[in-house]
Amino acid sequence: MRIALQTLSTFAVFIVALMACAGTTASEAQMTATAPAIAPRDVVASATLGIINELNKLQPEQRTEDEVRRLVQTYIVPAIDQEKIAMGALGKYWRRANPEQRQAFIDRFRELQIRTYSGAFQAFNGEQFVFEEARFNDSGDKALVKGTLKQNNGNTIPVDFRLYRDNDSQQWRIYDAVIAGLGMVKTYREQLSERLQNISMNELLAELSAESSH
Phi and psi at 180, nearest 5°, equal 50, 40
Q: Which residues pair with 176 in a beta bridge?
A: 162
Structure letter (DSSP) for residue 80: B
SS3 (DSSP) at 120 = helix
- CA distances to 37, 77, 115 from 34, rounded to whole Å, are 8, 20, 30
Reported as a pLDDT band with limits 50, 70 and 90, residue 126 is low
- What pLDDT is stored for residue 128 in this prediction? 66
CA distance 193 to 59: 43
| Percent of the chain surpassing pLDDT 70 | 76
**Single-letter residue type at 8:** L
Domains and CATH numbers, the chain: 2-212 (3.10.450.710)
- Please, what is the angle between helix 40-56 and helix 26-33, to 10°? 110
Residue among 126, 123, 101, 107 nearest 201 (CA): 101
Cα separation, 188 vs 144, in Å, equals 20
- pLDDT at residue 127 in the model: 63
pLDDT band for 200, please (50, 70, 90 cuts): very high
Lowest mean pLDDT among 33-37, 45-49, 123-127, 193-197: 33-37
Mean pLDDT of 46-56: 71
156-181 b/e (C-beta count within 10 Å ≥ 16 → b): ebebbbbbbbeeeeebbbbbbbbbee
Q: Is the entire prediction scored with pTM above 0.85? A: no
Is the pLDDT confidence value at 73 over 80?
Answer: yes
Banded model confidence at residue 18, pLDDT cuts 50, 70, 90: very low
Beta bridge partners of 128: 150
